[in-house]
Structure 1
């Protein structure tokens, strides 16, 4: 047990050093810190490598590498990676555009409470992208994201309110208030 705790502590120390370097835009150091952690299965480091490849930060922009790293982290239950992977499928970055696959990844992240993913799920329910259009579900997910302060979701609630009855809004709000995040297995 003690050996495991030492390993976890060392792994997070490396992650934090990478994060500090990343925030200072020292992408080479961030990459040096995060790559070994990502290869060992640290989902946060995997997500950040995906992000760096997606935007060409310290590496050549490579959507395929971004998708691979996001997918590894997403499979470990990392909500941010699931949201990022959903965005790649929705936009067709390095993969054929696939709204159903995008919705699937956004929903997994949204169900864990990721505000960005909740915003995407609401938008996709509104537009009927990858899912049947459903104003009630759109409102519920936008409401949840708005509770986290996401401006696009706050604006979406105003738009949706113009298309829904008061009874529908009340019902969707009740659904949102009763909603609880689902946990996923999460591994470092």
Structure 2
């Protein structure tokens, strides 16, 4: 009965969020969370983090992400890692950030896999390991994460954690660019301009540079 009630409140919250009624969405998510729904707990954390339907409160966001993460929710585990990495609502702790990204990544969360790759790439919270970084970028990229696809392209272009392969670099930049990633679009433009992994084509280079610029302006 509890699972049915909490699940219903979660669905209602999503419905109200689509209708742009943020206060009712938050109230439904909160009811779901209080009844132990781990996705509801994650959503309440997001509401507190971003001030959606309630007053922004990073400490409460952290607490709800913690509940969600401890319950096994991959998104909650990722966001808890983000909190520890950036000192949001808690004391900054890169080792704990790495540990929660790892749990999230192992559970199949694409952004968790990407951030775990970044930890290995930069040596944040763990020993630097470019081969492991590459492997986690690959998992995330294959799942469709455009940032991971861009980073995977960089790995192949520069031989970071893998054998240098400009053809594969081009292919992953293309995938990233097609998903709207402005960095992927820029590097794809560079590939066409300089003939990296593909035939030189100034027209296509200009096209992707323009797309990248449009993405940056939209992001700002």
Shorter-normalised TM range: 0.7 to 0.9
Give the match for residue 21 of structure 1: 48
Query: So what's the TM-score if we normalise by structure 2?
Result: 0.71
Give the match for residue 86 of structure 1: 117
Aligned length: 168
Out of 50, 57, 60, the residue aligned to residue 81 of structure 2 is: 50
- Aligned in 2, Cα 1:50/1:166: closer, same or farther, shift over 3 Å? closer
CA positional deviation for 1:164: 3.5
Higher relative contact order (CA 8 A, sep 6+): 1
Query: So what's the TM-score if we normalise by structure 1?
Result: 0.83
Cα distance in 1 for partners of 2:45, 2:196 equals 47
CA positional deviation for 1:163: 2.9
Out of 107, 125, 138, the residue aligned to residue 76 of structure 1 is: 107
Cα distance in 1 for partners of 2:200, 2:133 equals 27
Query: Where do residues 29-178 of structure 1 align in structure 2 (5 Å cutoff)?
Result: 29-161=60-192, 162-164=194-196, 166=198
Cα deviation code 1:104-157 (max 9, x no counterpart): 111000000001100110011001000001111101111111112111111111
Given that 2:41 and 2:67 are in contact with CA atoms closer than 8 Å, whether structure 1 keeps it comes out as no
Gaps of 5+ in 2: 11-31, 202-220
CA positional deviation for 1:6: 4.2
Given that 2:62 and 2:88 are in contact with CA atoms closer than 8 Å, whether structure 1 keeps it comes out as no
Cα deviation code 1:50-76 (max 9, x no counterpart): 011111111111111001100111111
Gaps of 5+ in 1: 170-188
Greater Rg by CA: 2
CA positional deviation for 1:168: 9.2
The Cα RMSD (Å) is 1.9
- Aligned in 2, Cα 1:154/1:160: closer, same or farther, shift over 3 Å? same
